[in-house]
Amino acid sequence: MVQQLSLLGQISESKIRRLILTLSTLTGNIHSEMNQHTVILKPRYPFTPEIVPGKVTQIESYRIRMNRIWESRYPLDISARDDIKGDSITKQKKEFLNDSIWTLQLSDIPAGGNQPVLIQNLYETTIYETDDIIGYLDELGYMHETEFWSHGRRFFYGDVIIEVLRLFIIDSQSIEEVEDERVKLKLLDDSGSYLVKAYVNVGTINDVENVTYGIKQLEKIKTNTRRSHRVACS
């Protein structure tokens, strides 16, 4: 388990080049490409408690994020919009499921209160090899809910990881028309805006020193990017 501190922001497509230059200058290194396929799993039999008047019942049906490297199979431009495809677990042939290395992630509800950054606990495990990943998850009592693909760039600033990415989902208008096992994707946000996420992982909840240091690092990045760029961070 790790405690993740993070900042999230959004930036328009017209400002992305300037942001990439700003982050390259700030971090002092060349970015690395990131391509990820994420499947969201939900409990097959969710617990629904009886609502009692006057009693606060806070129940969270934990969902599992299942991540793997998105094998795009060809160079993918970060500014591309069309002709984007990906392997989907909704298709009949799913050999790629068992051939991929998957990371399963559970996350707590983010901590409440007036916090300068988002704070939440993450639980992760990695499956390197399995004969039937879907059967394994079914035994755990989980089933597919949705999936999405992310493509972008990753920067490193000390202990902080900065990701600039766009999300893609299945183009439902073309899924029935395509005979290929790979489905056509479209941008989740039609405006073409980018998600900006800066985060740092702290080993233990009680590590106050590293939590404080991580918050300071994130706030420094927030200040520097806003100085040269109007990025809405929260």
Using pLDDT thresholds of 50, 70 and 90, give the confidence band for residue 231.
Answer: very low
The mean pLDDT value for 109-137 works out to 85
* Percent over 70 (pLDDT), the chain: 82
The mean pLDDT value for 42-47 works out to 84
Q: What is the distance between the alpha carbons of residues 185 and 171, in angstroms, rounded to a whole number? A: 5
Summary mean pLDDT of the chain: 83
Is 60 exceeded by the pLDDT of residue 169?
Answer: yes
Using pLDDT thresholds of 50, 70 and 90, give the confidence band for residue 76.
Answer: low
Using pLDDT thresholds of 50, 70 and 90, give the confidence band for residue 45.
Answer: confident
Q: Where are the domains of the chain?
A: 2-233
Cα first-last separation, the chain: 24
According to the model, what pLDDT value does residue 102 have?
Answer: 93
The mean pLDDT value for 83-100 works out to 79
CATH topology of domain 2-233: Hypothetical Protein Pfu-838710-001 (2.40.320)
Q: Which helix (H) or strand (E) holds 30?
A: none
| pTM score of the predicted model | 0.85
User: How many of the other CB atoms lie within 10 Å of CB of 79?
Assistant: 10
Q: Which of 29, 101, 102, 97 is nearest to 65 (CA)?
A: 102
Q: Which of 234, 229, 187 is nearest to 78 (CA)?
A: 187
